[in-house]
A and B are shown apart, each in its own frame.
Chain A
Amino acid sequence: DGGITQSPKYLFRKEGQNVTLSCEQNLNHDAMYWYRQDPGQGLRLIYYSQIVNDFQKGDIAEGYSVSREKKESFPLTVTSAQKNPTAFYLCASSSFSGGDQPQHFGDGTRLSIL
């Protein structure tokens, strides 16, 4: 079955540490996205990529970095500059970035501070 795989499901970060969240899709989608979800809030866009080797900042990119070296992979690094990283992180993809294409989501990674 095609879909989006996020790993790990749970992740713990120590002070001053960078951590990387994995996102892989086998849907052959061009566009990929990273969202952050905090309790009682909607989703906020961190970064998105419409094509390999290209990505743009979303609304809350500070303290995060991404890469898009392969079509199927879009890893997110939470750097030590992100002072409040505890959240649920969701990766999504869509067939292209046009308005009528729904996004497909992975099952998320929950990041906590040790």
Chain B
Amino acid sequence: GAVVSQHPSWVICKSGTSVKIECRSLDFQATTMFWYRQFPKQSLMLMATSNEGSKATYEQGVEKDKFLINHASLTLSTLTVTSAHPEDSSFYICSAIGARGTDTQYFGPGTRLTVL
């Protein structure tokens, strides 16, 4: 089946620094990638949708200047958390779908971000 990887799997950073998380589709071309955030004991919340070569579409309440998303190729999307603060500590998960659009979303293993 299709595989999506994320790097790093966990990261600890100081408040005020920026952190970049990579999401890669390993064996298929992902026309669309999604970024989700999951707080402890809660479900996944969609942050943004990114299509290759165009600007990401952010969900209501998600600061686009704080969570920078770049989908530069059909196999790579990056999420940069700028000027991270402790309240940004969360589990970030990406997913990807191929050209068929409404087919299965394949999820990455997630990245645990802890901001001190």
Bound pair (A, B): no
Interface residues of chain A, those whose CB is within 8 Å of chain B, are: none
